Amino acid sequence: MNNDPFTSLAGAVGTPPEHYGNLFGEQQRLAAGDAIVDLSDRAVLTVVGEDRLTWLDSLTSQSIAKLAPGESAETLLLDPTGRLEYDIRLLDDGVATWLLLEAAEAEGLHAWLSRMVFMLRVEVADRSADFATIGTLGQPAITAAAPNGVALVWRDPWLSVQSGGHQYSLATEHPSVDWTYSEVLVERSELVAAAVLPVAGTLALEALRIAAWRPRLATEADDRTIPHELDWLRSAVHLTKGCYRGQETVAKVHNLGHPPRRLVLLHLDGSEGVLPKHGDAVLAGETEVGQVTSAALHYELGPIALAVIKRGVDPEIDLVVKADDAAIAAAQEVIVPPSAGAEADIPRLPRLRATS
Asked whether the CA dihedral 187, 192, 196, 198 is positive or negative, the reply is positive
Q: How confident is the model at residue 345 (pLDDT cuts 50, 70, 90)?
A: low
Q: How confident is the model at residue 70 (pLDDT cuts 50, 70, 90)?
A: very high
Task: Identify the pLDDT of residue 356.
Answer: 38
Q: How confident is the model at residue 327 (pLDDT cuts 50, 70, 90)?
A: very high
CA distances from 199 to 22, 100, 153 (A): 11, 21, 18
Each residue of 100-133: pLDDT tens digit? 999 999 999 999 999 999 878 999 999 999 999 9
Average pLDDT, the chain: 94
Question: Residue 77: which residues within 8 A CB-CB, separation 6 or more?
Answer: 59, 60, 61, 85, 86, 88, 109, 112, 245
Each residue of 37-65: pLDDT tens digit? 999 999 999 999 999 999 999 999 999 99
Give yes or no for residue 328 having a pLDDT over 80.
yes
CA 290/CA 305 separation, integer angstroms: 12
Task: Identify the pLDDT of residue 253.
Answer: 97
Give yes or no for residue 282 having a pLDDT over 50.
yes
CA 331/CA 339 separation, integer angstroms: 19
Which of 152, 214, 221, 215 is CA-nearest to residue 187?
152
Phi and psi at residue 8, to the nearest 5°:
-95, -5
Task: Identify the pLDDT of residue 118.
Answer: 83
Give yes or no for residue 353 having a pLDDT over 50.
no
Helix or strand (DSSP H, E) at 184? strand 182-187
CA 194/CA 12 separation, integer angstroms: 15
Q: What percentage of the chain reaches a pLDDT higher than 70?
A: 96
Task: Identify the pLDDT of residue 3.
Answer: 80
CA distances from 69 to 64, 93, 105, 146, 151 (A): 11, 4, 25, 11, 9
Average pLDDT over residues 293-317: 97
Which string of b and e fits 239-271 if b means at least 16 CB within 10 Å? bebeebbbbebbbebbeeebbebbbbbbbbbee
Helix or strand (DSSP H, E) at 30? helix 23-31
Task: Identify the pLDDT of residue 119.
Answer: 77
Helix or strand (DSSP H, E) at 96? strand 96-101
Cβ contact 280:259 at 8 Å: no
Which of 157, 278, 160 is CA-nearest to residue 220?
278
Which of 232, 201, 216 is CA-nearest to residue 297?
201
Task: Identify the pLDDT of residue 2.
Answer: 56
Each residue of 159-217: pLDDT tens digit? 999 999 999 999 999 999 999 999 999 999 999 999 999 999 999 999 999 999 999 99
Q: How confident is the model at residue 95 (pLDDT cuts 50, 70, 90)?
A: very high
Which string of b and e fits 98-113 if b means at least 16 CB within 10 Å? bbbbbeebbeebbeeb
Alpha-carbon Rg for the chain in angstroms: 21
Q: What number of other Cβ atoms are within 10 A of residue 129's Cβ?
A: 10
Helix axis angle, 23-31 relative to 202-211, nearest 10°? Answer: 60
CA 191/CA 203 separation, integer angstroms: 20
CATH numbers and ranges of domains, the chain? 5-236 (3.30.1360.120), 260-334 (2.40.30.110)
In one letter, which amino acid is 55? W
Task: Identify the pLDDT of residue 120.
Answer: 87
Each residue of 215-270: pLDDT tens digit? 999 999 999 999 999 999 999 999 999 899 999 999 999 999 999 999 999 999 99
Phi and psi at residue 227, to the nearest 5°:
-55, -35
